[in-house]
Amino acid sequence: MAKEDIRKDALRVHSPEASHDAGVSVEDDVVVIVTKLFCPNGHNLVNQESHKFDGYGGIRLLVSDGKVEDVVELSPFHGDLTKYGPTFETGTKLSIRCPDCGVELPVLAKCGCEWHGDLRKLYLTESIDDAYLVTVCDVWGCPRSRVIDGNEILSEFLEGNIFEEDQS
């Protein structure tokens, strides 16, 4: 994506001591940090009160395999697989919901992982805009996640990183 296409209100470069007004921050032009993330009902899933990941709040998700249900906190650093909370066997399909209201996170597309999970949508803006998303796979152990803006969704499909949902 060209630099002129970046939404400055949702993505910005700043130092760690700067305020976290944007939904996504980029540090040193390398590290992407999610600082705000919303469920479909507008609840902010970034927790500033509990576990800290290098000083940043984690992303809280309510997960269940049908037997165990608990809140997991994911690192807000894109690509960092660190998490706190329950653990499941690798390859376990999970339901993923908002820990505040219980709404299940909607599906964007099929994940390209070996378990054929679903990429679940989390929103970077309070306006719940499908053009600005973070997606996570709903299979435990899948390392695939995406930070997607409207200009990249077509590229993700064309590159084979996400797949259209089965229509059957």
> Is 35 domain-assigned?
yes
As a dihedral over the C-alpha atoms of residue 20, residue 26, residue 27, residue 30, rounded to 10 degrees, the angle is: 160
- Give the domain range for residue 96: 3-162
Residue 153: burial class (beta carbons within 10 Å; 0-12, 13-18, 19+) = middle
> Is 167 domain-assigned?
no
Cβ neighbours for 12, distance < 8 A, ≥ 6 positions apart: 22, 24, 25, 26
pLDDT tens profile 47-100: 878 788 888 899 999 999 999 999 999 988 877 888 999 999 999 999 999 999
pTM of the predicted structure, to 2 decimals: 0.73
pLDDT tens profile 5-53: 444 444 333 333 333 344 555 555 557 788 899 999 999 999 878 788 8
Residue 153 DSSP one-character state: H
> Which uninterrupted H or E stretch holds 154?
helix 153-158
> Is 81 domain-assigned?
yes
Domain count for the chain, please give it: 1
